[in-house]
Structure 1
Amino acid sequence: MAFIGEATLSKLSDLLLGKSIDAVLNFVADHKQLYDQLKEWKSILPDIKAVLNHAEEKQIKDEGVKSWLEDLQYLAYDADDILDDFAYEQLRLNLHKTQAQVSTSKKPTRLQPTSVVDGTVEYVGRDNEKQEMLDLLKTINSDGVCVLTIVGMGGMGKTTLAQLVYKDACLKEYFDHRAWICVSEDFDAV
């Protein structure tokens, strides 16, 4: 088991410590190579932990081996920290890339329609309100913009009523231009 631990430590120390500063900078600059190296470190860490767990179970008395195992433990912690740092940095870069794509995207955001999928709505019990709104809209004689508001508590069917009135065929002949706008609670006109 000591041989496996030495081989693992040797390989990990070569990976972590055996590079010159220039080599490390070149290594980090090459993303593909960095990814492969990080994958290799990640695969080595379980081996190190297995060696350390085995040594802990055996309660090794040799001071040299204990010192070596302690160094191995710190090296494993450092490698784990480095892997965590790279994972965090990768997430951060992905987030910034996504934010940049969203902020520079010229594609308009498509909001979900507030109607039923097939477009047919079974509306029960509000025929009087619908007819009152239709009559009111038909009798308005205005050269300017006409705005009709529907006010009420949430869940009362305000949006559904407005959609029914908006989609009513007899109303279309009274207006040259129509627009459907749904404003949420957190709307900010500024």
Structure 2
Amino acid sequence: MDDVSIIVAPIVNTLVEDTTKMIKKKIHLIKGVEKDIEQLQSKLSAILSVLEDAEAKQLDSKPVRDWLGKLEDAAYDAKDVLDTYETNAMLWQKNQQVRKVRLPFSASKTSYKLNTASQIKDILARINEIEKEKDGLHLDVSVGVVGPNNGTSENRRITTSLVYEPDIVGREDDKDKIINLLMSEEYNREGGVAVIPIIGMGGLGKTTLAQIVYNDDRVKSHFEFRMWVCVTMNYDYKRILKEMIESHSKMKYDTNSISLNQ
């Protein structure tokens, strides 16, 4: 089995947020699509609740890994379809507001509507099947993951520095830019703390980029110590400090033994 993680929680979380927004704003250009989007939101929320456990188990379980791969493909297809649908729906609504008269669609627009409705139903069918398959994988529901009606998930995935670089393509320029910054005098002043943010929407590969930088031979040889610590949405200063100490000392520490005043 390949020693590389499939990470889909960010894109699935984005889809849950997108469908929630579409439902609240009543973005429904095509009759019947609103119910499909509501069902899609419900299925994605159920899937999101077990993704932390699935992503943790995937390297030891081929069925879980295959399930994540299938989910990843469907999620990105869903994102494309929903983005196109939302854009066209909002443009149409804006056009109707300007004209103040609801004009019927032309034949070409009617064809577009039928095609889009079919695409959304196809996506719903794929996600529905994937949601059913998760029950046979015996995945644990993550504590702290809440549905879209109760707020967004605060129990984000815990990342590691593990990456399988042969599977990473098209990031060489970005990697080299960050490494050059890390090794430059500007970011390497004694006594100073430098921060290089990697910014972008969920699912673009920000964590993967950080992983390949962290594991680059130039970074390993340049820095005496390297530490990988995941800062989640639930900010826990003690946990972060504990993981930094453990990473440096290679020893386990009790959180209660760490003083925040040290």
| TM class by smaller structure | 0.3 to 0.5
Q: Which has the higher contact order (CA 8 A, sep 6+)?
A: 2
Select the structure of larger CA radius of gyration. Answer: 1
